[in-house]
Amino acid sequence: MKNDKCEFNEKVEKIFALLVEEEGSREEALLRLLQYIVEETDVPYDLLLCVGSYFVMDLKKDSQPINFLLKAINFNKSVEAKRRAFCILVTGNCKVVESLNLSEIQKSILSVPIMTSALQNDSVDTAEVTMDYLYDSLYPSDSELFFALLQDIYDIMDEREDVRQKTWDNFQEICKGKPYENIVLGSVDDEIIH
């Protein structure tokens, strides 16, 4: 994953330098890049997290790029576009994401598929960031929703027999040493994991 990130950063640097030149400012260039990524591409969730962490210094509150991502989460008709925007924001400016007044359905739509897809495809970084977000934004303030979403994640993870063991292994790995380790793993039936 580290090599992938280095390669990704190098590519983005080159492309982004050209965009800045064309658009005239860093903020406008980032806005254009995010519009393209969110609305017109099918980028894997891992790379979207890289986008967020690469531009973390640019994704400031009230900037055009942040406002675009927030609008995409709230108003874009495409569920996948919402997920892409959410994924970038989770690493780019998690505090802004946490301040979003997302409903139970919205949080589920955004987080659960990203989490389960990441676990099933060995994208541990993606799963870890998403799990951190769910815990930080929901526990203990809305522990009922936290456990309901966890149950959704468990159910989806358990559906695919071909990757079930790998998925649960990845899930246990991301929970190790985290403040939610005992809470999360303690709520899983032993028979599910084994």
Residue 161 in this model has a pLDDT that exceeds 90:
no
Give the model's pLDDT for residue 193. Answer: 45
Compute φ and ψ for 139, nearest 5 degrees. -115, 130
**DSSP notation for 71-124:** HHHHH-S-HHHHHHHHHHHHHH-HHHHHHS---HHHHHHHHHHHHHHHHHTT-H
Residue 194 in this model has a pLDDT that exceeds 50:
no
Average pLDDT over residues 22-49: 91
Give the model's pLDDT for residue 34. Answer: 95
Give the model's pLDDT for residue 28. Answer: 96
Q: Is 55 helix (H, G, I), strand (E, B) or coil?
A: coil
Average pLDDT over residues 86-106: 82
Residue found by looking up tokens 């996948």 in the block: 80
In 3D space, the residue among 95, 101, 20 whose CA is nearest the CA of residue 52 turns out to be 95
Each residue of 50-93: pLDDT tens digit? 888 899 999 988 899 999 999 999 899 999 999 999 989 888 88
In 3D space, the residue among 64, 170, 79, 95 whose CA is nearest the CA of residue 127 turns out to be 170
Average pLDDT over residues 149-164: 86
Least confident span in 12-21, 100-109, 130-139, 140-149: 100-109
Residue 40 in this model has a pLDDT that exceeds 80:
yes
